[in-house]
Chain A
Amino acid sequence: MYYLVRNDPFPILSPQHGILSIEQIISRVGVIGVTVMALLSGFGAVNCPYTYSSYFLRHVTDADIHALERKLLQTNEMIISKKKRLAIAKRAAESQRGEEVTNGGGIWARFRPSTPLATTENVSQLQEDIRIHEELSRQLFLESVDLHATKDRIEYSKTFKGRYFNILGYFFSLYCMWKIFMCTINIVFNRVGKKDPVTKGFEILVHYMGFDVDVGFWSQHVSFILIGVMIVTSIRGLLITLTKFFYAISSSKSSNIIVMGLAQIMGMYFVSSVLLMRMNMPESYRKIITQILGDLQFQFYHRWFDVIFLVSALSSIGFLYLAHKQAPEKHTTKDLKLSSAFRE
């Protein structure tokens, strides 16, 4: 990455134009926007098939859930019995201290340090045990929430809507693998594609399958529809994520700042998506965009996008793999911890 950055310097400063000209500003904004978009789409490209397709769903049976709930209730019972002992011991100590004050020594008894509990309980040990058990009970509860959610997802996937999303998931996974593959090729062979995927797809269709379609006419319309769909869904996804984020940090004082921040983000996102859409458009329309956005070095942007996309997709694959592998193993390790906790 470092060498890439060094060899292809950012097209931020150029001797031809001044610092504040439109091209420069767009290029600066474009760099940030493209980075963010590549990160998000890399993660989304991997996460989407993982979430939609039911291939990855872990099998959760009712027996699993019942076993977990029994464990949780048993832990709660232990906590309760320990707390009972603690409460009884505390009350015994208080009444004992009360007796001492009234019986012995008069005024001076109050100033003497309180005698240790005349009970067989070890208070600090009890409190420590209680703390551990409470932590365990919380974890078990969270796991049971997880299992219930997975079971709901399994049931949902059996309905029609679920199956529809499942098929979509397979399509997306194919598309994402294709994209990752293309990015790798682009980087390795250091080229920027000349033809957009739709035209290419149509050409393949015509070539190998002998469909008789007017490539020029159809490719233009289909690619526009696809671009429209992509823009709408990506902006919708972005807005949904942002609203969740803004609920967390919003307050009555900071609403102005939030609106400005949102406007900034939308503008940046839009500019970068126009930049990148150029790749997906037929040849003739690219010239229009080049005219509008001025003299930007598009090759750089596409290359930069490919690199970040690849890095992000590979790292999210790694994360999801680790998370997925850890989940079924959680049961076995939990059993070991529980048995050691119950051994006393």
Chain B
Amino acid sequence: MPVIEKNLKVKVLVLGDSGVGKSSFTQLLCHNQSSKTPGYTIGCTVEIKLHDFKQGTAEEKTYCVEIWDIGASKSHNTSRYIFYNNVNGIILAHDLTNLKSLQNLSKWLNDALSQDTTGGLSSIKVGSSASRNSGDDNSPLSIPVLMVGTKLDQFNAEKRQFIISRSKSYADEIGCKEIHLSTIESKYIAAGSGNAVELSRFFDQVVDHAIIRQATVSSVVQSPVVDRRGSFGERRRQNVTPVSRLFGMKRD
């Protein structure tokens, strides 16, 4: 059994409109079974997924990925920002039967990225998929994003093509990969399926991001950034300057 790394904090957010299936998807991802009692999520629910990083290679390690399933009720808009710090990956969930949920995804993404001030660079709008795949200096620090379309079982085979092409344009705009599934059956992310490969690749990117960020942060500043996890606002922004100064140096 590979070594389980417990100390690295890897955080992935699941964002999307109310009722698209984020909680069901999280359950499916972590426990491989669909939830029997769905209800609106209040606040946020965290589940742990044990992800085999670099599976099949010599460096294989198991990481505990925290999946934060954020409740999306409209009245909780002003208090959601506390969950958005220190994020290593974002999963955008939308309902394939509902076009509006697809259109709101960019709003969710910008919301989450504008709150995350630890990285400095991650507040820049994510670039195209080309820059993601190339290994230049900037891409390791931008947060990996994955789009998930749920409720695929509501469509028969002919309509599926149309629906999938519709969401592809949004995915290309944001510059991320996407998968489509139904959260009722676990066969959609069974080992070896295309979806499972995409998910595994996404989680690898997330763990990479977490490792790199921890390496850069710990080499610059010891305690202040870590302590600021609970607060938000002016105090926090002042502390970012030494970190962003380092990034400025790195870019040159």
- Asked if A288 is an interface residue, CB under 8 A from chain B, the answer is no
- The B58-88 residues at the A interface (CB cut-off 8 A) are 62, 64, 66, 75-76, 78-79, 82
The answer on a CB contact under 8 Å between A83 and B48 is yes
**A148 cross-chain contacts in B, Cβ below 8 A:** 78-79
A191 at the binding interface (Cβ < 8 Å):
no
Chain B residues in 8 Å Cβ range of A137: 43-44
4 tightest Cβ-Cβ pairs between the two chains A and B = A141-B43, A70-B230, A148-B78, A83-B48
> Which residue of B has the minimal Cβ distance to A147?
B79
The closest CB in chain B to the CB of A71 belongs to B230
Whether B43 contacts A138 by the Cβ 8 Å rule is: yes
Chain B residues with CB below 8 A from A72, complex form? 43, 82
Write the nearest CB–CB distance from B167 to chain A, whole angstroms. Answer: 26
| Complex CA distance for A103 and B1, rounded to whole angstroms | 16
A152 partner residues in chain B, CB cutoff 8 A: 78
B67 to chain A, nearest CB (A): 10
CB distance B1 to A69 under 8 Å? no
Count residues on chain A whose CB falls below 8 Å from chain B CBs.
29
Could you give, for residues 139-164 of chain A, a 1 whenever the CB lies within 8 Å of some chain B CB and a 0 otherwise? Answer: 01110110011001000000000000
- Tell me the smallest distance from the CB of A137 to a CB of chain B, in Å: 6
Residues of the B chain whose Cβ atoms lie less than 8 Å from the Cβ of A76 = 44, 46
Q: Count of A-B contacts with CB under 8 A?
A: 67
Q: B125 contacts the other chain (Cβ, under 8 Å)?
A: no
Contact A84/B79 with A73-B230, A76-B46, A141-B43 known, Cβ cut-off 8 Å: no
Bitwise, A170-196 to B at CB < 8 A (1) or not (0) is: 000000000000000000000000000
B64: which of A66, A79, A84 is its contact (CB, 8 Å)? A84
- Extra contacts besides A87-B50, A144-B82 (18): CB < 8 Å: A66-B230, A69-B230, A69-B231, A72-B82, A76-B46, A79-B46, A83-B46, A83-B47, A83-B48, A84-B48, A87-B30, A87-B64, A91-B1, A91-B62, A92-B1, A137-B43, A141-B43, A141-B79
| CA–CA, A274 and B4, complex, Å | 76
A219 to chain B, nearest CB (A): 46
Is A134's CB within 8 Å of the partner chain B?
Answer: yes
Nearest neighbor of A137 in chain B, beta-carbon distance: B43
**Are A145 and B76 touching (Cβ within 8 A)?**
yes
Q: In the assembly, what is the distance between CA of A142 and CA of B41, in Å?
A: 12
Q: Does B108 belong to the interface (CB within 8 Å)?
A: no
Name the CB-closest residue of A to B62.
A91
**A residues in contact with B6, CB < 8 Å:** 84, 88
Q: Are B230 and A138 in contact (CB under 8 A)?
A: no
Q: Does B229 sit at the interface, judged by CB under 8 A? A: yes
Of all chain A residues, the one with the shortest Cβ separation from B30 is A87
Q: Does B42 lie within 8 Å of A141, measured CB to CB?
A: yes
Q: Can you list 26 A-B contacts with CB-CB less than 8 angstroms, sorted by A residue number?
A: A62-B233, A69-B82, A69-B230, A70-B230, A72-B43, A73-B230, A74-B230, A76-B44, A76-B46, A79-B46, A80-B66, A83-B47, A83-B48, A84-B6, A84-B48, A87-B48, A88-B50, A134-B45, A137-B44, A138-B43, A140-B43, A142-B42, A144-B79, A144-B82, A148-B79, A152-B78
Which of under 10, 10 to 19, 20 to 34, or 35 or more describes the interface residues of B? Answer: 20 to 34
Is B155 located at the chain interface by the 8 A CB criterion? no
A2 to chain B, nearest CB (A): 42
CA distance A73 to B79 in the complex (A): 12
**Residues of chain B within 8 A of A84, CB atoms compared:** 6, 48, 64
Cβ-based interface call for A102 (8 A): no
Q: Is there contact, CB below 8 Å, between B46 and A80?
A: yes
| Closest residue of A by beta carbon distance from B234 | A62
Q: Is A73 a contact of B82 with CB atoms below 8 Å?
A: yes
List B199-245 residues whose CB lies under 8 Å from chain A.
Answer: 229-233
What are the residues of chain B within 8 A of A69 when measuring CB–CB? 82, 230-232
Q: Scoring A residues 297 to 334 as 1 if CB is less than 8 Å from chain B, else 0, what string do you get?
A: 00000000000000000000000000000000000000
Distance in angstroms between the alpha carbons of A69 and B82 in the assembled complex: 7
What A residues does B76 contact at CB under 8 A?
141, 145
Task: Give the complex CA separation of A145 and B42 in angstroms.
Answer: 11
Q: Does A127 sit within 8 A of B, measured CB to CB?
A: no
Instruction: Judge whether A95 is part of the interface by a CB distance below 8 angstroms.
Output: yes
Q: Residue of A at shortest CB range from B75?
A: A145
A149 to B45, CA, bound (A): 22
B 1-22 to A, binary, CB cutoff 8 A, 1 in contact else 0: 1001010000000000000000
Q: Which residues of B contact A74 (CB under 8 A)?
A: 230
Render B22-35 as a binary contact track against A, CB cut-off 8 A, 1 for contact: 00000000100000
Q: How far is the CB of A211 from chain B (nearest CB, A)?
A: 49
Cα A224 to Cα B178 with chains together (Å): 64
The interface residues of chain A lying within 8 Å CB-to-CB of B64 are: 84, 87-88
Complex: chain B residue closest to A141, CB-CB: B43
| Nearest CB on A from B1, distance (A) | 5
Most chain B CB neighbours (cut-off 10 Å) among A95, A140, A145: A145
